[in-house]
Amino acid sequence: MNQKEFLAKLDQPRIVDAIAEAELQTSGEIRVHVQPKAGGDLRTVAERTFERLGMTKTALRTGVLLFIACEEQRFVILGDQHIDESVPAGFWDEIAAKLTVRFKNGEFTDGIVEAIRAAGDHLREFFPRASDDVDELPNDLSIDA
């Protein structure tokens, strides 16, 4: 499936709502990025994207990126420094593994929403939302052609 077909199947407003909902409970800032192919080592490319999207600039270093190479159906979830200190080993891999199953079943939006909720549940526990929280990173999808 090419990216155009993938995006056509995606319910983007539902994903944006899931991010907004998760961020009501936590200072964490979640973003979803989609591009056709990683075009290199998945993690390295995702780390570069994390930087490029300004995700290292949140006040509490609580950015979380779900990076999706949709034509390869490969994903990685990256947390910024303070998040990664808080998550148990294998935490992100487990979420990514569930996402792989969902994608195989063609449940793209459901899988992404589920991953956002799982990340949000963890973030809420470790990084509760402050009363003066601001939306530091946009909730809409980042899409590279």
Contact between 133 and Ca ion (CB under 5 A)? yes
Minimum distance of Ca ion from residue 25's CB (angstroms): 10
Minimum distance of Ca ion from residue 104's CB (angstroms): 29
Contact between 135 and Ca ion (CB under 5 A)? yes
Question: Is 59 exposed, middle or buried (CB count within 10 Å of its CB: 0-12, 13-18, 19+)?
Answer: exposed
**Tokens 């319910």, residue?**
11
Among 3, 35, 49, 139, binds Ca ion (CB under 5 A): 139
Q: Which two tokens stand for residue 45?
A: 């490319």
DSSP 3-state of 35: strand
Minimum distance of Ca ion from residue 129's CB (angstroms): 7
Judged by beta carbon, residue 25 or residue 73, the one nearer Ca ion is 25
Distance between CA atoms of residues 38 and 87, nearest Å = 25
Q: Which residues in the 3-62 window bind Ca ion by CB under 5 A?
A: 29
Judged by beta carbon, residue 94 or residue 133, the one nearer Ca ion is 133
- Site size for Ca ion, by CB under 5 A? 5
Interacting residues with Ca ion (CB under 5 A): 29, 133, 135, 137, 139
